[in-house]
Structure 1
Amino acid sequence: MLIQNHQVDLETPTGIMRCYVYRPKEDAATADKKYPAILLYSEIFQQTSPIRRSAQIMAGHGFVVIVPEVFHELNPIGTVLGYDDAGRDKGNADKVAKYLEAHDTDTQAMIDYLQTLAYYSGKVGAMGFCLGGGLAYRAAINPAVSATSCFYATDIHSGLTPSQAGNDSRTRTKEIRGALQMIWGKQDPHIPPEGRAIVYKELVDANVNFSWHEVNGVHAFMRDEGDRYDAELQLWGYQTAIGFFRTNLY
């Protein structure tokens, strides 16, 4: 399936948010076809080359994919941070400077935008990696989101992404109504076994419809740059997520 892409700048309560939209390419046979959407949340580095490739892969399997600049109010439009010490320091500083409530309004802005697209089917899911896994989990609280796939989601157990009192993602787990898929690396130091156990208990206690996968991988095993990349796990990860979204969004 061939894909096409464009950019759109959406208004949010915290400023203009640049989003990158990927979708199946139209031709005479598919001009009237509608597709479900996936909100794809990046790592702290925003839309790097690996994140762009992730969006292209998902779009190539029949989804409209929107990648937001997750820290749009803290950086010039188009900012991409490097996978280096400076990039990590800036991304982690941005993470603690932006409250979850601002991510909530970002999510709603993308959902509202989808409603304007003639090729959108009306069903939306969320997906993310690292910080983005935690933001996808947060997006699952939105009642419009029918399915969410979270890869090695950080900060759910620790609450390091700030929020107003009583509004952290763990506290609001009970509001998740759609299907949820949680994927973790057993050797990931950012979400140790005790952290994963906290999240698991929250989901069970809240009676969320979820699946749980732990693989022998380190943090960021899906990222096809750097020495933590695991090609076999990446292929499995995409197949698992695509099957999940096809089941729940089509």
Structure 2
Amino acid sequence: MTVTHSVTDLPTATGTMRCKVVRPTLEGAFPTVIFYSEIFQITEPIARTAAFLAGHGYVVIVPEVFHELNTIGTVLAYDDSGKEKGNADKFTKPLTDHDSDTQAIVRWVDQQSFCNGSLGSFGVCLGGHLACRAALHPRVQAASCLYATDIHSSTMPAGDKPQTIDQLSDIAGEIMFVWGRQDPHVPLVGRVHLYSQLNQSDTHYTWHELNGQHAFIRDEGERYDPELASLCQRLTLDLFHRTLR
């Protein structure tokens, strides 16, 4: 189906957060997916992925994940300076501020006539971690987390709450993890650690490891793998079609 694009500025506990909203042009109410981006914020590849998902019948909300640390509308480039700034932001903003951002989005969703109340989360890289973190919210029914960084290492500042890996037992919905086996950001020892914690916490999860590098779904740059990207899109749609409809 065709989609429509808009932006909305939401009040959060740490300031105004701009979000891109992509949703079906058809009348009616649809399930909602919060799509958390990489450290570069809402780049063109992220926007295209949001449109792809929305075209399958979802309201997709993409927040500026570092809205407190940048002017509204900031998009970082996929280069060394963009990576340096994005990583600095990642290790500055505590996870508790991401939690309050998620709560602000949930409040907004509940006020929209085109949202039917079903809610999922999706993310890549940093966003994969944030999608997992969002699954701690009792309203989130399913989460798709692609090559999620820093869950295994607990290296992001947590604020006054535990690290994400220490709260896995609080995830009530279903969560899916997809990894690239050649991803240096989440090496085998890190994946094994997270896998063990998921089993100990009795989390309802699925787990996929593919022969790909970090960011293989991003349709820009040398690491893009269209076949793996298509597979991950299908896995994500299957998860949301089953749990949110």
TM-score when normalising by structure 2: 0.99
Within 1, Cα distance between the matches of 2:155 and 2:179?
18
Within 2, Cα distance between the matches of 1:105 and 1:126?
15
Q: After superposition, where does 1:177-196 map in structure 2 within 5 Å?
A: 177-196=172-191
Within 1, Cα distance between the matches of 2:39 and 2:229?
19
Report the 3-state secondary structure (helix = DSSP H, G, I; strand = E; otherwise coil) of the residue aligned with 1:105: helix
Contact 2:3 2:22 in 1 (8 A): yes
Q: After superposition, where does 1:37-52 map in structure 2 within 5 Å?
A: 37-52=32-47
Report the 3-state secondary structure (helix = DSSP H, G, I; strand = E; otherwise coil) of the residue aligned with 2:164: coil
Question: For each residue in 1:114-144, what CA deviation from the matched residue of structure 2 results, as whole angstroms up to 9, or x when unmatched?
Answer: 0111111111000000000000010000000
1:21 is the counterpart of 2:27: no
Question: 2:164 corresponds to which letter in structure 1?
Answer: S
Question: 1:98 corresponds to which letter in structure 2?
Answer: K
Question: 1:11 corresponds to which letter in structure 2?
Answer: P
Within 1, Cα distance between the matches of 2:192 and 2:50?
29
Question: For each residue in 1:187-230, what CA deviation from the matched residue of structure 2 results, as whole angstroms up to 9, or x when unmatched?
Answer: 10100011011111111111111000000000000000000000
1:235 is the counterpart of 2:230: yes
Shift of 1:161: 1.4
| Runs (5+) with no aligned partner, structure 2 | none
The residue that corresponds to 1:56 in the other structure is: 51
Shift of 1:164: 2.8
Q: 1:120 aligns with which of 115, 119, 122?
A: 115
The residue that corresponds to 2:80 in the other structure is: 85
Question: 2:9 corresponds to which letter in structure 1?
Answer: D
Within 1, Cα distance between the matches of 2:146 and 2:137?
19
Within 2, Cα distance between the matches of 1:59 and 1:165?
35
Length, aligned pairs only? 245
Segments of 4+ in structure 1 off by > 4 A? none
Within 2, Cα distance between the matches of 1:45 and 1:161?
16
Within 2, Cα distance between the matches of 1:164 and 1:53?
32
The residue that corresponds to 2:132 in the other structure is: 137
The residue that corresponds to 2:8 in the other structure is: 8
Question: For each residue in 1:125-176, what CA deviation from the matched residue of structure 2 results, as whole angstroms up to 9, or x when unmatched?
Answer: 0000000000001000000000000000000011121113651101111110
The residue that corresponds to 1:207 in the other structure is: 202
Within 1, Cα distance between the matches of 2:203 and 2:154?
20
Question: 2:8 corresponds to which letter in structure 1?
Answer: V
Report the 3-state secondary structure (helix = DSSP H, G, I; strand = E; otherwise coil) of the residue aligned with 1:154: coil
The residue that corresponds to 1:104 in the other structure is: 99
Percent pairwise identity? 49
Report the 3-state secondary structure (helix = DSSP H, G, I; strand = E; otherwise coil) of the residue aligned with 2:151: coil
Within 2, Cα distance between the matches of 1:104 and 1:70?
11
Report the 3-state secondary structure (helix = DSSP H, G, I; strand = E; otherwise coil) of the residue aligned with 1:118: coil
The residue that corresponds to 1:35 in the other structure is: 30
Question: 2:165 corresponds to which letter in structure 1?
Answer: R
Within 2, Cα distance between the matches of 1:73 and 1:201?
34
Report the 3-state secondary structure (helix = DSSP H, G, I; strand = E; otherwise coil) of the residue aligned with 2:32: strand
Report the 3-state secondary structure (helix = DSSP H, G, I; strand = E; otherwise coil) of the residue aligned with 1:9: strand
| Runs (5+) with no aligned partner, structure 1 | none
Report the 3-state secondary structure (helix = DSSP H, G, I; strand = E; otherwise coil) of the residue aligned with 2:142: strand
157-166 vs 183-192, greater mean Cα deviation: 157-166
Question: 2:55 corresponds to which letter in structure 1?
Answer: G
Shift of 1:179: 0.4
